[in-house]
Amino acid sequence: MSPAVESTHVRDSAELGGHVLTRAELVDQAVAWPVTAERVLGAGSFTALLQDDITAPDGSTLQREYLQHPGAVGVIALDAAGRVALVRQYRHAVRHRLLEPPAGLLDVDGEAYVLAAQRELAEEVGLAADTWHVLVDLFTTPGIIAESLRVYLARDLRPAEAPDGFVKEGEEAEMELSWAPLAELVDAVLAGDLHNPTMVSGVLAAWAAQLKGDDFATLRPADAPWPARDANPDLGEDAQTR
């Protein structure tokens, strides 16, 4: 039996230190410490490795490296039977073929976020959806990558043609549409069998939203603002402009 189960005394926050946040305080703060120097250590087709000298509140100078990134969108496409549309894609950086929901970069100038998600859904799995909501927004690895990710919930699915001129290339050429029940995906995530951040965050958010029992009515609309991304528009700048 674990210590948590054995314990008969539940400690409150006053004993443990710190304070309990109100709902109004549960929001990330957009703050930028002053940058006194910026160096480009390397640039690729859509990312750049930057090294910044920043001034901390105590006046000290810190040096931090991070990858610039254009951002991305993902789609949890849920059918009437409660199954999610998936692809399996090779990811060279981690040397795995990951099971993932449809997703892609925000690399089309001026394209609305939800339109990018709709395009990716059609390109990767040949589907369209009549009902869209925002599931979750996140920074995927904020300690090192400036990638913002928005995951949508898409329902009322139907077949769709890929956009004119689109051809699957590279890793995408091997992708095929698969389906899995949302409940089983939750089990697989919690078992440590699935690792893609779009999958993990999207599946758990969809499951949590479903548990509310309101047919996802409390989710944000598809065109909801994305203030965390909009607070730092330069972080999504194309690497080629560096």
* Per-residue pLDDT tens over the stretch 142-162: 999 999 999 999 999 999 998
Q: Under the phi-then-psi rule, with left for phi > 0, alpha for psi from -120 to 50, and beta for the rest, what region is 156?
A: left
Domain range holding 221?
72-239
In angstroms, the CA 101 to CA 77 distance is: 8
67 in any annotated domain: no
Does some domain include residue 172? yes
State residue 54 phi and psi, 5-degree precision. Answer: -125, 150
* pLDDT score at 227: 94
Residue 52 included in any domain: no
**What residue type is assigned to position 110 of the chain?**
G
> pLDDT truncated to tens, each residue of the chain (242 aa)?
455 555 556 666 668 888 899 999 999 999 999 999 999 999 999 999 999 999 999 999 999 999 999 999 999 999 999 999 999 999 999 999 999 999 999 999 999 999 999 999 999 999 999 999 999 999 999 999 999 999 999 999 999 998 888 888 888 888 889 999 999 999 999 999 999 999 999 999 999 999 999 999 999 999 999 999 998 876 666 555 55
Determine, yes or no, domain membership for 14: no
The string of pLDDT tens digits covering residues 52-64 is 999 999 999 999 9
The CATH number for 160's domain is 3.90.79.10
* Of 22, 25, 5, the residue nearest 13 (C-alpha): 22
Residue 119 lies in a domain: yes
Q: How far apart are CA 206 and CA 76, in angstroms?
A: 8
- Report yes or no on 6 lying in a domain: no
How many domains are contained in the chain?
A: 1
Q: What is the pLDDT of residues 123-143, one digit of tens each?
A: 999 999 999 999 999 999 999
Asked if residue 176 is part of any domain, the answer here is yes
List the catalytic residues.
172
Per the structure block, which two tokens stand in for 99? 């099971």
Does any domain span residue 145?
yes
